[in-house]
Amino acid sequence: MNAKQDLDTSLESKIMKGLDALNVSYGEQAIANLVVFMNLLSEWNKTHNLTAVDDIDEMLSVHVFDCASIMPYIKGSSLLDVGSGAGLPGMILAILSPALEVTSVETRGKKAQFQMYAANKLGLKNFCVKNMRIEEFEPKEKFAMVTSRAFSSLEKFVEGSKNAIASNGRWLAMKGLVPKEELKVLKKMGLKFDTFALKVPELDAQRNLIVIDAPK
């Protein structure tokens, strides 16, 4: 076994340990795909600055485990990920849940390009990328779930993607600290929501998920 294979085997075991801690189910293909994704992200990051995190072990906690932590809240067959940068959380969720149809909307060309390249390399049939602003996106079918990860304020997130969500759908906004002032705005908008604290393996930071019900 060469050094590259050693590193990948080590990465596989770390990924499985983290997903087990999150109680997230996975198959062999998902683990293999996550290893390839991590390597691609690390490689592209050297020249394209896709993420501020350079260390691959840190990427595991800050990106992979953080994104995977919302898997228990994924309910429905279609998901739109808004402003996902390098495919976070959209591509991670698509890898872990092959039955989930994921569409990513990303305005920045190089980040959308990375997602397209990675999806092609992984053969992800359940993932597609739209290089545009969310306000310009007009889907033929509305989505059961719309996610974002530190994308913008909750109000902007909801307003920007309201034309893409199904009437019984849910917004899933990933945040650090609970954004109390932003939640007050949601109340004024007449929206119902719940807040869930997320425990991310290897990550010593507060993480919260705001689940917002779309208007009927």
pLDDT in tens, 18-73: 999 999 999 999 999 999 999 999 999 989 888 888 888 889 999 999 999 999 99
Sign of the dihedral defined by the CA atoms of residues 173, 110, 92, 166, in that order: positive
8 Å CB contact between 111 and 133? no
Q: Residue 125, Cβ neighbours under 10 Å: how many?
A: 10
Task: Give the model confidence (pLDDT) of 138-175 as tens digits.
Answer: 999 999 999 999 788 999 999 999 999 999 999 999 99
Domain boundaries of the chain, sorted by first residue = 3-213
Report whether CATH 3.40.50.150 matches the domain 3-213: yes
Q: Say which amino acid occupies 10.
A: S
8 Å CB contact between 198 and 208? yes
